[in-house]
Amino acid sequence: MLRPERMSRVSVTGSKRVMDEAIETIHDLNLLDVTDYDGSWEGFEPGDTAEGAEEVSQKLVTVRALKSTLGVDADDAGRVRILEDDELDEEIERIRTAVNELDDRRSALEDELRTVDERIETARPFVELGIDVDLLSGYESLSTAVGEGDAEELRAALADADAVDAFELFEADEYVATFVAPAVDLEDVLVGTPFTRYEVPELDDAGEATSPEAYVEELRSRRDELASELETVESELDELKEEVADFLLAAEEQLSIEAQKREAPLSFATTDNAFVSEGWIPSERFTDLAEALGSSVGDHVEVEELERADYRDGSVGGGETGREAPEPGVGDPVAATDGAGDDEVRADGGYATDDRPMGDTEPPVEQDNPAGVRPFQLLTRAVGKPKYTEVDPTFVVFLTFPLMFGFMIGDIGYGAVYTGIGYYLMRNFDSETFDDLGKIAAAAGISTLVFGVLYGEVFGLHLDTLPVVETVYGHPIIEKGLSPDSTEWAQAWFVVTALFGVFHLNLAWIFEFVEEYTFHGLRAALEEVGGWLLALNGLWLFVFSRIGAPEEVGGPGGPKPALIFEVFASGEGAAFALGFSGFSPIVGYVGLVMTAVGIALLALGPTHELIEVHQVLAHVLSYLRIAAVLLAKAGMAFAVNLLFFGAYEDSEGFHFLLTKAKAPAEAELMFPGLIHGGAGALLAGIVVLIVGHVVVMILGITSAGIQSIRLEYFEFFSKFYEAGGDDYSPFGHERRFTAEE
């Protein structure tokens, strides 16, 4: 759970005549993460693709193009299918022909529609001006132009032109038609005057129409015809999609599988007669691989567990089997031995393979978490997949992220909504990411609901003040500390969150200590991490000691806040009556010594980290944001309810005006409440109530969610987690749309 699944490097060695059967078996198991051969063995070359690989790839490209054209996705899946090769080829060709014909018709119609739209747009100025197009050309003694420009500027420019004897302008909105006598070059005349000239359209294409209005009307009629035809084609494509979607999904899956199998030899080391494939497999599944290959190809293939990856440094070793260094020689492609694991595969030229792996020896990572914890891998992988040698922090995130989130919001109503959002994401999105996100949201919602029961709050209202409910629920187990008569709870939460920070950071550095000890020994662990653990715990032993405690709590007088010694003591100022009022001065001095020793160890080890020794204080204080968000969200919910219900305050505290329209005579009215006003005030109050609580819930997600994940990533992960592991990607395919015969 805190480590990835144990991986073994295995070798599959065999005769080339059974290579296809071996590939089929390995693919069906979907267990072996195949390592690409790097060409480092003398006498061995990377294998060639199997016969028909190019043809399969071409078919796969065709199927994917058809899927794209029809817009087919996984949601369109129908029945699971078994596809025969003959059926596959014939159906692909039939669908390709039908799709190409419809797609060509659609493209032609869309092109003609664009052309018609362009012609309508070109004719728009002439329609606005209301001038027949045949009046705008064909003159020997006149120059004409139509375009966009300022009519007054054009008039001034034409009036000032010596070459112009007379002119007439027609305008409509921004469009202008100009008639000028005698015939002149209008571009020269209008130099310096803003004017965009339009070409006069040819209306002969529109039949008998010569007026722009008639021309545009005919174009619009043609456009309607084209749109109707296009709609028919789209409908036919939709019908075809519905008919063939399940086939295309099945065909893509089957062809993808075939392509994988036929291209697999590219990763193998081969000679004319033999092949060698290496890869990674979960150690506990090695027997499954060996037995499956033994059943399918018998003695023609030898399967070895070469080495078992060690968690200590990611190197391989520790297995009970291994390939011994072979001697040069000649012989059969597969030479079975006594089963001790010293088999040899000889190249055709007489050279045997050596001890070197055929590629990168870093084992891939398959996180090993229980089903309930697995969705939280989404949060871990946002930083990066753990390395094989690292502790996987997912289980800790599973415990602490919902805990922090629920503690900060702590409301039955909000928790129910968050849980509902999570359920909606799980049910309505066909995506592993959304499914995991939904489960995380649901976990955070359940935690919020549980804390809501402990706090006794539902949408900011206290259960012990609600009619009927108060008789069942009684007094809340814990409080948020927002009311003036329960400030000890607010103080307690700041102390509790600081202690949680100490625990969280201790856990992070313990993980790092264990890793350093495992990889490099006790001295390295003490120098690299021991200093941090001593400094952290020593400092906070000193903080909670009575050295420097104020006089009001019985201390000698000093700068430490009194709440440190009150919230766990006894009496009215104690939220948790545990009788703890601080460690003795001796413990405090021990803490100072521990801190000094920790700093000295840091100086012996990574001395550059001395400048970051403030982390043992600053990073713990970062956890106070949990208590701050708790009080802020409670205050926002209180403000929303105050505006709607109104409230009064008496000697027992404040109370919402839930069942009373007026405060008792001896109480002080805080706000009368919109619910107790007129109809307009009530309507406004309902809007305030709904919108206000929605805003609080949204801010709860952003603030509580972001602050929780920030503490996980920055304060916790940064102490021990590097990430960067390689995905375990086994050779195989999980069938969704096809079934084997």
Q: Is residue 386 part of a domain?
A: no
Say whether pLDDT at 660 is over 70.
no
Tell me the C-alpha distance between 439 and 432, whole Å: 11
**Last residue of one domain, picked from the residues 322, 348, 366:** 366
Contact, 459 vs 656, CB < 8 A?
no
Q: What one-character DSSP code corresponds to residue 352?
A: B
The whole-number average pLDDT for the span 197-220 is 72
417 vs 338: which has the higher pLDDT: 417
Say whether pLDDT at 223 is over 50.
yes
Say whether pLDDT at 738 is over 50.
yes
Q: Is residue 668 part of a domain?
A: no
Range in 45-49, 384-388, 524-528, 629-633 the model is least confident about: 524-528
Tell me the C-alpha distance between 232 and 226, whole Å: 10
CB-neighbour burial class of residue 736 (10 A; exposed 0-12, middle 13-18, buried 19+)? exposed
List the beta bridge partners of residue 671: 647
41: region left, alpha or beta (phi > 0 left; psi from -120 to 50 alpha): beta
253: how many CB neighbours lie within 10 A of its CB? 20
At residue 509, φ and ψ (nearest 5 deg) are -75, -25
Tell me the C-alpha distance between 461 and 448, whole Å: 15
Q: Are residues 236 and 98 in the same domain?
A: yes
Q: Are residues 35 and 157 in the same domain?
A: no
Give the model's confidence band at 54: pLDDT under 50 very low, under 70 low, under 90 confident, else very high: very high
The whole-number average pLDDT for the span 158-181 is 87
Q: Helices 615-622 and 487-520: crossing angle, nearest 10°?
A: 130
Tokens at 309, concatenated: 């990856």
Range in 29-33, 190-194, 349-353 the model is least confident about: 349-353
The whole-number average pLDDT for the span 194-201 is 82
> Given this model, what pLDDT does residue 258 score?
93
Q: Are residues 612 and 488 in the same domain?
A: yes
DSSP, collapsed to helix, strand or coil, labels residue 554 as coil
Which residues are within 8 A (CB) of 314 and not within 5 positions of it... i.e. 6 or more apart?
A: 362, 363, 387, 388, 389
The whole-number average pLDDT for the span 234-255 is 92
Range in 72-86, 169-183, 577-591, 726-740 the model is least confident about: 72-86
> Given this model, what pLDDT does residue 354 score?
53
Say whether pLDDT at 327 is over 50.
no
CA dihedral sign of residues 126, 128, 130, 131: negative
Say whether pLDDT at 206 is over 70.
no
> Given this model, what pLDDT does residue 317 score?
46
Say whether pLDDT at 373 is over 50.
yes
Q: Are residues 273 and 255 in the same domain?
A: no
635 vs 357: which has the higher pLDDT: 635
Tell me the C-alpha distance between 283 and 5, whole Å: 8
> Given this model, what pLDDT does residue 320 score?
43
Q: Are residues 173 and 243 in the same domain?
A: no
The whole-number average pLDDT for the span 192-212 is 70
Mean pLDDT (the chain, rounded) = 86
Q: What one-character DSSP code corresponds to residue 704?
A: I
Q: Are residues 133 and 98 in the same domain?
A: no
Q: Taking the mean position of all CA atoms in its chain, how far away is CA 324?
A: 45
Say whether pLDDT at 146 is over 90.
no
Q: Is residue 720 part of a domain?
A: no
> For residue 568, which amino acid is it?
F
Q: Are residues 164 and 92 in the same domain?
A: no
Say whether pLDDT at 273 is over 50.
yes
**Last residue of one domain, picked from the residues 183, 216, 249:** 216
The whole-number average pLDDT for the span 500-515 is 95
At residue 11, φ and ψ (nearest 5 deg) are -125, 135
Q: Is residue 450 part of a domain?
A: no
* Residue span of the structural domain in which 351 resides: 1-47+268-366
Count Cβ neighbours within 10 Å for each residue of 3-16 and write b for 16 or more, e otherwise: ebbbbbbbbbbbbb
The whole-number average pLDDT for the span 157-169 is 87
Tell me the C-alpha distance between 401 and 407, whole Å: 10
The whole-number average pLDDT for the span 496-521 is 93
Give the model's confidence band at 287: pLDDT under 50 very low, under 70 low, under 90 confident, else very high: very high
Tokens at 166, concatenated: 């007379």
Q: How far, in Å, are 324, 358, 612 from residue 277 at the CA level?
A: 17, 9, 49
Helices and strands per DSSP (H, E), number in the chain:
21, 15
Domain harbouring 299, CATH code: 3.30.70.240
Among 1, 34, 37, smallest CA distance to 281 is for 34
> For residue 554, which amino acid is it?
G
Q: Are residues 590 and 543 in the same domain?
A: yes
**Last residue of one domain, picked from the residues 587, 619, 651:** 619
Say whether pLDDT at 18 is over 80.
yes
For 398-538, strand residue ranges (E) read 457-458, 461-462
Q: Are residues 160 and 232 in the same domain?
A: no
Say whether pLDDT at 571 is over 90.
no
Give the model's confidence band at 347: pLDDT under 50 very low, under 70 low, under 90 confident, else very high: very low
Of all helices (H) and strands (E), which one includes residue 116?
A: helix 85-129
Tokens at 609, concatenated: 């980290």
Domain harbouring 161, CATH code: 3.30.70
Contact, 492 vs 503, CB < 8 A?
no
Q: Are residues 39 and 99 in the same domain?
A: no
Q: Is residue 580 part of a domain?
A: yes
Q: How far, in Å, are 46, 270, 355, 425 from residue 41 at the CA level?
A: 10, 10, 10, 51
Q: Taking the mean position of all CA atoms in its chain, how far away is CA 154?
A: 60
> Given this model, what pLDDT does residue 372 score?
93
323 vs 474: which has the higher pLDDT: 474
Say whether pLDDT at 335 is over 60.
no
Tell me the C-alpha distance between 431 and 633, whole Å: 32
310: how many CB neighbours lie within 10 A of its CB? 17
Give the model's confidence band at 314: pLDDT under 50 very low, under 70 low, under 90 confident, else very high: low
Please identify which residue in the block is written with the tokens 């999980």: 734
Tell me the C-alpha distance between 283 and 316, whole Å: 12
367: how many CB neighbours lie within 10 A of its CB? 20
71: region left, alpha or beta (phi > 0 left; psi from -120 to 50 alpha): left
Q: Is residue 474 part of a domain?
A: no
> Given this model, what pLDDT does residue 326 score?
36
Angle ∠(420,423,429) on CA atoms, nearest 5: 130
CB-neighbour burial class of residue 438 (10 A; exposed 0-12, middle 13-18, buried 19+)? buried
The whole-number average pLDDT for the span 312-341 is 41
**Could you tell me how many residues make up the chain?**
741
Contact, 540 vs 588, CB < 8 A?
no
Of all helices (H) and strands (E), which one includes residue 22?
A: helix 19-29
> Given this model, what pLDDT does residue 588 score?
94
> For residue 92, which amino acid is it?
I
Tokens at 629, concatenated: 């968000």
The whole-number average pLDDT for the span 41-50 is 90
The whole-number average pLDDT for the span 4-9 is 92
List the beta bridge partners of residue 588: none
Tell me the C-alpha distance between 25 and 23, whole Å: 5
Q: Are residues 191 and 241 in the same domain?
A: no
> Given this model, what pLDDT does residue 448 score?
96
The domain tally of the chain equals: 4
Q: Is residue 582 part of a domain?
A: yes
Say whether pLDDT at 66 is over 80.
yes
Among 569, 516, 561, smallest CA distance to 312 is for 516
The whole-number average pLDDT for the span 292-305 is 92
Range in 224-233, 401-410, 600-609 the model is least confident about: 600-609
Give the model's confidence band at 207: pLDDT under 50 very low, under 70 low, under 90 confident, else very high: very low
Q: Are residues 157 and 306 in the same domain?
A: no
Range in 212-221, 533-542, 698-707 the model is least confident about: 212-221
Q: Is residue 644 part of a domain?
A: no
DSSP assignment of 157-217 equals: HHHH-TT-SEEEEEEETTEEEEEEES---HHHHTTTS-EEEEPPPP-GGGTT--SHHHHHH
